[in-house]
Amino acid sequence: MKRIICIGNRFIQGDDAGPRVFDRLMEIRADEPVEIYDGGLKGLELVWLAEGTGCVVFVDRVEGFGAPGEVVTPSVGEIIARNDEGRPFDHSTGLDGLLPCLPLVC
């Protein structure tokens, strides 16, 4: 199974990339066997969506990898390295906190 998980806050401009992609994907749904989820602000609660899948694509706004508005695909390692600053896991924890947990629970 393939899944696309779109992350972000649709009510905050600049954090709405994931929800905007989710809305567009729902409009153009193809016959592909892909599940599309609006992950909102669930953070670590998204771990269960990765379980049992062959492929997971996360769509989120991540700073520091390209110019504003540019679509980039940083590696998992590059995203995880962003949390090497020792930031706590709290409400602002994003993909840099979620991705290291996946191999531990899936």
Task: From 99, 95, 93, select the one nearest 18 (Cα to Cα).
Answer: 95
**Predicted local confidence at residue 38, as pLDDT:** 94
Task: Output the pTM of the full model.
Answer: 0.78
Please write the tens of the pLDDT for every residue from 12-34. Answer: 988 898 999 999 999 987 777 88
Give, rounded to a whole angstrom, the gap between the first and last alpha carbons of the chain. 14
**Predicted local confidence at residue 15, as pLDDT:** 86
Tell me which residues of the chain have a pLDDT lower than 70: 82-93, 106
